[in-house]
Every structure is written in C-alpha cells, then in structure tokens.
Amino acid sequence: MAEVTEDKKVDTDSKRVHTYPLIRHSDMNDEMKTEAMELCVTACEKFASNNENAAKMIKDTMDKKFGASWHAVVGEGYGFEITHEVKNLLYMFFGGNMAIILWKCS
Amino acid sequence: MPPKQVKSKTAASLDRKRSKRGDGDDLTEMGDGTEQDDWMQAKTLVKPEDQLELSEAELKEEFTRILTANNPHAPQNIVRYSFKERQYKQTSSVDQLAVHFALDGNLLHKDSEEARKQFNRTGLAETKEAEPAEGAAEAAAAEEGAEEGAAEEGKEEGGDEEAATAEPTKAAGKEKKLTNQFNFSERASQTYNNPFRDRGTVTEPPPRASFSSNVTQWEIYDAYQEDFEKQEKSKEKKVIPGRKEEEKSKKKFQISETSSDDITRVETAAKIVERMVNQNTYDDIAQDFRYWEDVSDEFRDSEGTLLPLWKFSFEKAKKLAITSVCWSPKYCDLVAVSCGSYDFMKQGSGLIILWTMKNPSFPECFFETDSGVMCLDVHPQHPHWICAGFYDGSVAIFSAVDKREGAIHRCTAKNGKHTDPVWQVRWQKDDADNNMNFYSISSDGRICLWTILKNEMVYQDVIRLSLPDVSAEGPDGIKVATTGCGTAFDFHKQKDYLFLVGTEEGKVHICSKAYTSHFIDTIDAHNMAVYKVCWNRFHPKIFITCSADWTVKIWEMKDTMDKSESVDETRKPLFSFDLNNSVGDVAWAPYSSTVFAAVTSDGKAFVYDLNANKYEPLCEQMVAQKKKTKLTHVEFNPTYPIVVIGDDRGNVTSLKLSPNLRKMKAEKKGAPPVDEATKIQREIEKLEKILSMVRNQPTEATA
C-alpha cells in the first residue's frame, strides 16, 4: 500500500502544472527582459483564447516602447528559425503550454 | 465712386463735343476745346450709307404729329370676373404703360442727394488731399517760372506768363486723374534653382544573430520540469546551513540569477591583470626575494639578519590577531592564516585568509566566520581542504576551491564540540577507509579525532587530560576531577601513534593514540602555559617547546626503558633559552636540524642555529612596526628561505633569512649531489654531535 501511495504522490508531482513564466532563452538586458516578460504575461492573460490578438498586442506594445519592427509568435507548437538583432530576443514559456518568441529585426 | 466720376466726366466731354458740333454757342469752351483738340485726333462724322440725302427744302419741311399717351398695343377688351357681382365684366381701365427696355444703373448724378452724401462720407478726404497737392504744384510752377525768368531775362514775359498759367491747370488735371482700381498688373519672376547633389553613406547594420528552436508541448513540459527541479534543489541547499545563511544565499542566488553577464567571465583575466599590476608595484621586493643576499654576512661569523619583504594586511583583519600560520604544502607561495582574538573580553568574528606572495594587496581567498578562528591546518595531500578550530570550541573544514561562503562541515554542540577554545588542529593521514581526519586540542582537556564522512563529520575522544594528583572540591564536598588544559600538540613525523601535548599548566605529555587516559611520559616543562610543542624535522627524539614563561626549551624523549632508571634526568631540557618575553611560537627550519625561529610578545623575532652558536641567537630583530604589537606566530616556508610572522594586529610579514641563518653543512666541491636520505642522515648527525656535547655537561648547556 505504501508503495502505491508513494507512486501516486510522484505522479501528482510530475503532473503538477507550472504556470509561471519561464524564460527559456534571452539576450536582452535585464530591464528590457522583465518588461517584455511582463508584457507577454499580460497579453497572454488578456487574450487567453486568441493567440493572434495576444501576439498583436505584444508586437504593438513593443514597437511603441522600444522602436519599430518587433515580431512576436505565440503558440503551442511551432518551429522557427529567425534572425534577430542582438540583444533583442526573448524566448519564453508561459502557462505551461504556451511558447512566445519575441524578437526585433528591422 | 471714382468710376462714376470718370463716367460722369466722359459724359460731360461728350456733351461738349455735341455742342461744338452742333450750334457752337458755347464760346467759353471753344478756346479750351481747340487747345485740347490740338493733340486729339480730328473727328470725322460717320454717316450710315443708307441715309437719305435730303434737300434743304425737304429738311425744312414740317410734319405735325400728335403724341398720345395711349398704348397702341394695349388690349381694349379685358374681361375679368367680378366677385362682387358674380359675373364676368369688361374692365374699362387699361394699362397704357409699355416698357421696352429697363436697366438698373449704378450711376449717380453728381449733384444728386445720394452723390453728395457719398462725397461727404468718402470724398471729403480726397478733395482735401487734392487741394494741397494742387497748391504745391502751383507753388513749384511759380518757382520754376521765377527761375526761368531769372535765367532768361529779356524774353517775352507774356509767353512766360501763359506757360505758367497753363502748367498749373495741366498739373491739376493730372492730379485729378484717378487710378483704376481694377487695373491690375501681374508681375512674375523666376529665381535660379539650386543645383541638386546626391550624397549617400552606409552605416554598419546592427549586429544580428540567428536563433531557432522548436516548440512542442513536451519541450515546454521538460523545460518547466527542469526549472522546477533546479528550484527545489536550491531550496534544499538553502535550508541546510541555517536561517541567516539561507537569506544570504538567497540574495546571492538572486543576484547571480539576474546578472547573467557578471564579472565571473573575466575573472581569470582580471586576476592575471591584478597580478601583473602587483608584479610591477612590488617589483623591488620580488627582486630582493630572489636575489638579495646580505653581503655583510660573509664578514661576521654567527650573525644574520632578516630582510622584511611583503607585508600582508587586510582591512577586515585589522583588529584581529593572527592565531596561526600555515604554508600550503602544494603551492609554495600560498600561506593560510587564521584570525581571531586571544583576549577573552574582546571576542568577535574571525577570518581565514589565504595570502599569496604573488599578490600582497588582496587575499587570494578568505572566509569570514562568526567566531574567532584560533588555529588552522592545510591538508598535506589535498591542499584545498582547510580545517580550523574556533574560540567557541567548534571545529570546521573549509574548501578553498568551492565558491561556497562558509564551512563545508562545522560541528555543533550536539556532535562533539569542545567547550573551550580549540588551540590547535592537525590533519592526519587518511584512515583505513580513506576518510580524511584531523585532531583538535582544546583547553577543555579533550583531544578529539574528527573524521569526515560523505556528508557529516564524526568525532571521537582520543584522550582526556586529567590531573590525577589534583582534584577540586565542590561546594558540598563532592570531588570534581579537574582536567588539564591542552594548548598545543604535535604528531611524530615517523611514528604515527606518538604525539606531544602541551598544557596550560606547563606540562608536556608524551602520548600515544593507543591509550586514551595514560601518558607515556610527562614532563614539567614550563612554569606557565606551553604555547607550542614541535618535533624536530630530522631527529626523531628531539622536540622544542615554548611558553609564556619567556623560555624556549629543547627536549629529548627518553626511551621508555630507561625512563624508570633516571626519571629525574628527563625533567631537564637539553637547551633552555630565555627570550625575555612571552614566547608566542617556535618553529624548526625545514632545511636544517639545528635552526629554529621564535617570536615574542615584545615584537622580536629570534633565529637560532645550534650549530653556529649554542647560547646566543644568530639574529634578534624587531619585526613589529609599532611598539606594542605582539608577534604571535612564525612559520618557515618549506622551499624558500623565508619566514612569515603574524602579529596581533592582523598583519602577516614575510622576511628573508640572510645566508648565515640558512647555512647548510658545507659540501665539498666536486662531490656528487647527495640524495634525500643521506641529507637527513647528515642533519641528524650534525644535531647528534651537538647533543652529545650537551649530554655530557647538561648543566652547562642551560643558558
């Protein structure tokens, strides 16, 4: 019995959903990084059901704050190969199933 | 208004012409008109071609016509419906007026009421302006006339007069000529266009990089899982070393998390640069360290000097005393020192500092501790392990290579901590299970063996120093066994089990690891606390002690066999040197069996070579910069001819031994280099030779 319960514990542990934002890769400076991360979180929470709008919001806001030509991709599954301006890349996960890639290239 | 006037004027002129052509009765105008017609074109009467040519009689014939006011075209039978009589009736009154042409004009007669009003409103100003202008013109003309008259005297005056009168009228006419307000003239001009020039420049594009990845649910999941585990681990780490450190490490963790591009990347480069700078700054000292030899040594036999080289001082150690010094067994430029306080009333934090001779300006590495560090030892095989004893009785081990802040292991009150300050710690060979272990001695009378297991440190009491002959009486008559207070120990170089223990009572016990409560031998060596006991590095039976009773003594361990025979004899030292102050530390030189150094509380360092002088030191030198500074510890470098001396102000001074202080046994020229064993043998022989002299007259030797 003890074993079974332990197994269950482990199971629940592994199935625990992590929803916090997790920066996977970024070469931004800290200030920009936190701002961008917070923006992504806000956008994804606001448009939880519409990735397109979320991406649009991220892109528009970043354009306003840090100058033009930002690109954002929000989705659950995709592949990408991008060229970005150095110090302007953020690749993060959010909500346990969402990946956001945000970069600048003009 | 002006156009009206113009028109009225033209009308007037027309009238005039008509009158001229017609009757010619207006004589007054005739003169004017002829004059005007002079420059005007002659007028010809234009007749229509089909005009009847009538004779005079026909022209004079009269036709009588009666004009009536009746409109011939007006209808005469207008019938209208009369509402009064309710029938159609013919109306008698017929409108005789016929309008053939109507035109609303904008002309006004000059004399009409309206015109006058308008003149009053606007024309007033004009007339006023005109009048002075006329006057001016007349005056000018008069002047002209006068001048002309002056110039041409005797000419016909009448003609002049005429001209003068004619001119003003002309001028007045000109003045009255009004401008046509609709008479616009357009002017345009073209400026030159500046020539265009193209100029271009290309900037470097901002640096770019490529990045690619794939997003899948399992990747996201894995990333989260990994991060989560990392967090868990860091949490676990934080929990172990206690709450204060937890907060500290938390902060550190956050800092290291947030600043990814910190200094660690350039750490090695920075270190090299720092050392280069130091090499330049302390170049003269480095030169002295390598090449300076006191030339005067050649001319004096048994005297030497100590040349101060680098002085190591650290801001945080300023108020602490150096409590022990230990050279690294692997890196001959690295020395570990512990800092604490010997003053019972002034206990505080402690420090472990690793100094390198390559960088005297800042420690290579240091650990801050909450309690004063009283002793340390560097592991001979693994030079990054440092064991330390604290004033609060605990012992700990540190690792110089780990980036950890504090100790790797530290004992607590629960697992064997001493109850009094730990005065000395010493690494031992790894035990049978290859676990590192070290001994500690404390004034609570215990000597403990600490063994480092995988993640804990276990202890074992090796010996309890008891004083069998003295037992204190408790308040209610209970006998309390008093314990001796260990202050120093040293392990025999060859015989693993054998070690010496110095106590606060001035006794020196020769002990074996095999017996926990029995001493092989006990010597009443000093009258006050023994500060250091030390086996000779070459001779297996000789050891040296120093004490607060101002003396340094050299002893020989007797064989246990003849101990019973001559108990008294062991009580006497082979040599005894009085240094006139409390002797903090004594150390044998690594290169000679007869050389040792001692430091005293009045700031002096002594170096003896028994081979050269059995009674006097070869060198007695003031080392401390300030008068009241006490010297606490001394240690020889294992390879270079230098010693480091610590004082009670946190400074460590390195000094070079002059050639007389490190005289080896003179080697014959051309002799093959001797190997280690024979060297040791020779050293032992050298010491033995001196000893044999002393043994014969032991009383003489005690100076």
Residues of chain B in contact with residue A75, where contact means CB-CB under 8 angstroms, are 215
Other Cβ atoms less than 10 A from the Cβ of B271: the count is 13
Q: What number is the average pLDDT over the span B61-84?
A: 85
Is residue B250 predicted with pLDDT exceeding 60?
no
* Contact assignment for A22 to B223 by CB distance below 8 Å: yes
* Contact assignment for B225 to A14 by CB distance below 8 Å: yes
Containing B679, the helix (H) or strand (E) segment is helix B676-696
More confident site: B186 or B198: B198
Residues of chain A in contact with residue B216, where contact means CB-CB under 8 angstroms, are 77
Backbone angles phi, psi at A75, to 5 degrees: -175, 175
More confident site: B91 or A67: A67
Pick one of 2.130.10.10, 3.40.50.10540, 3.30.43.10, 1.10.3720.10 as the CATH number of B295-701. Answer: 2.130.10.10
Q: Residue B468's pLDDT is what?
A: 62
User: Reduced to 3 DSSP states, what percent helix, strand and coil does chain A have, rounded to the nearest 5?
Assistant: 45, 30, 25
Which ranges constitute the DSSP H helices of B590-675?
Answer: none
Tell me the sheet residues that pair with B398. B386
Residues of chain A in contact with residue B212, where contact means CB-CB under 8 angstroms, are 79-82
Q: What number is the average pLDDT over the span A52-70?
A: 92
* Contact assignment for A84 to B208 by CB distance below 8 Å: yes
Residues of chain A in contact with residue B222, where contact means CB-CB under 8 angstroms, are none
- A1 to chain B, closest Cα gap in Å: 27
Is residue B694 predicted with pLDDT exceeding 90?
no
Q: Residue B257's pLDDT is what?
A: 47
Q: What is the mean pLDDT of chain B?
A: 77
Q: What number is the average pLDDT over the span B428-434?
A: 83
Query: What are the C-alpha distances in Å from B369 to residues B211, B389, B397, B421, B584?
Result: 46, 11, 12, 15, 24
B696 CB within 8 Å of a chain A CB: no
Q: Residue B13's pLDDT is what?
A: 47
B381 CB within 8 Å of a chain A CB: no
In whole angstroms, what is the distance from residue B621 CA to residue B285 CA? 19
Per residue in B627-682, pLDDT (tens digit) is 788 889 999 998 888 899 998 888 899 998 888 888 766 555 556 666 778 888 88
Answer yes or no: are the C-beta atoms of B378 and B355 closer than 8 Å. Answer: no
- A4 to chain B, closest Cα gap in Å: 23
Other Cβ atoms less than 10 A from the Cβ of B430: the count is 15
Q: Which of A51, A97, A105 to probe the B interface (max B CBs under 10 A)?
A: A97
**How many CB pairs below 8 Å do chains A and B form together?**
72
Q: What number is the average pLDDT over the span B527-551?
A: 89
Is residue B131 predicted with pLDDT exceeding 60?
no
* Contact assignment for B211 to A103 by CB distance below 8 Å: yes
- Tokens, residue B681: 């043998």
A47 CB within 8 Å of a chain B CB: no
Is residue B117 predicted with pLDDT exceeding 50?
yes
Instruction: Give me the half-sphere count of Cα atoms (radius 13 Å) on the Cβ side of residue B408.
Output: 18
Q: What number is the average pLDDT over the span B288-306?
A: 80
- CATH architecture entry for A19-104: 2-Layer Sandwich (3.30)
Per residue in B559-609, pLDDT (tens digit) is 654 444 444 555 678 888 888 889 989 999 888 888 899 999 888 899 988
B203 CB within 8 Å of a chain A CB: no
* Contact assignment for B209 to A89 by CB distance below 8 Å: yes
Backbone angles phi, psi at B188, to 5 degrees: -140, 150
DSSP B359: B
SS3 B382: coil
Residue A35 confidence class, pLDDT cut points 50, 70, 90: very high
Is residue A71 predicted with pLDDT exceeding 60?
yes
Residues of chain B in contact with residue A84, where contact means CB-CB under 8 angstroms, are 208-211
A55 CB within 8 Å of a chain B CB: no
Minimal-distance CA residue of chain A relative to B214: A79
Q: Residue B404's pLDDT is what?
A: 67
* Contact assignment for A30 to B258 by CB distance below 8 Å: yes
Range from B72-81, B153-162, B630-639, B654-663 carrying the lowest mean pLDDT = B153-162
Residue B474 confidence class, pLDDT cut points 50, 70, 90: low
Tell me the sheet residues that pair with B519. B511
Residues of chain A in contact with residue B211, where contact means CB-CB under 8 angstroms, are 25, 81-82, 84, 89, 91, 103
User: Can you give the residue ranges of every domain in chain A?
Assistant: 19-104
Answer yes or no: are the C-beta atoms of B373 and B340 closer than 8 Å. Answer: yes
In whole angstroms, what is the distance from residue B545 CA to residue B217 CA? 73
Q: Residue B430's pLDDT is what?
A: 83
**Residue B585 exposed, middle or buried by CB count within 10 Å (0-12, 13-18, 19+):** buried
The CA dihedral of B440, B443, B447, B452, to the nearest 10 degrees, is -30
More confident site: B365 or B34: B365
The beta-strand segments (E) located in B279-370 are 306-312, 321-327, 334-340, 350-356, 365-369
Q: What is the ipTM of this complex?
A: 0.83
Q: What number is the average pLDDT over the span A18-23?
A: 86
Closest by CA position to B632, among listed B622, B617, B619, B645: B645
* Contact assignment for A18 to B259 by CB distance below 8 Å: no
* Contact assignment for B213 to A75 by CB distance below 8 Å: no
Residues of chain B in contact with residue A16, where contact means CB-CB under 8 angstroms, are 228
Closest by CA position to B352, among listed B360, B361, B362, B340: B340
Other Cβ atoms less than 10 A from the Cβ of B493: the count is 13
Q: Which of B224, B256, B258 to probe the A interface (max A CBs under 10 A)?
A: B224
* Contact assignment for A93 to B211 by CB distance below 8 Å: no
A16-46 burial: b if 16+ Cβ within 10 Å, else e: eebeebbbbebbbeeebbeebbebbbebbee
Is residue A52 predicted with pLDDT exceeding 80?
yes
User: Reduced to 3 DSSP states, what percent helix, strand and coil does chain B have, rounded to the nearest 5?
Assistant: 30, 30, 40
Amino acid in position B309: L
SS3 per-residue string spanning B147-166: HHHHHCCCCCHHHHHHHHHH
Query: What are the C-alpha distances in Å from B45 to residues B14, B52, B216?
Result: 14, 15, 112
Is residue B247 predicted with pLDDT exceeding 60?
no
A18 CB within 8 Å of a chain B CB: yes
Q: Which of B204, B210, B213, B257 to probe the A interface (max A CBs under 10 A)?
A: B213
* Contact assignment for A22 to B209 by CB distance below 8 Å: no
Residue B405 confidence class, pLDDT cut points 50, 70, 90: confident
* Contact assignment for B207 to A86 by CB distance below 8 Å: yes
User: Can you give the residue ranges of every domain in chain B?
Assistant: 295-701
* Contact assignment for A91 to B210 by CB distance below 8 Å: no
Q: What number is the average pLDDT over the span B207-226?
A: 89
Closest by CA position to B691, among listed B556, B598, B578: B556
B218 CB within 8 Å of a chain A CB: no
- Tokens, residue B48: 């229509």
A66 CB within 8 Å of a chain B CB: no
* Contact assignment for B210 to A25 by CB distance below 8 Å: no
Amino acid in position B293: E
More confident site: B255 or B687: B687
Crossing angle of helices A51-66 and A30-46, in 10° steps, is 150
Tell me the sheet residues that pair with B450. B438, B459
Range from A18-32, A79-93, B1-15, B79-93 carrying the lowest mean pLDDT = B1-15
- B365 to chain A, closest Cα gap in Å: 30
A21 CB within 8 Å of a chain B CB: no
* Contact assignment for B211 to A78 by CB distance below 8 Å: no
Residues of chain B in contact with residue A14, where contact means CB-CB under 8 angstroms, are 225
* Contact assignment for B214 to A79 by CB distance below 8 Å: yes
In whole angstroms, what is the distance from residue B642 CA to residue B288 CA? 11
Residues of chain B in contact with residue A80, where contact means CB-CB under 8 angstroms, are 212-215
- Tokens, residue B208: 């770019």
B213 CB within 8 Å of a chain A CB: yes
Q: Residue B200's pLDDT is what?
A: 92
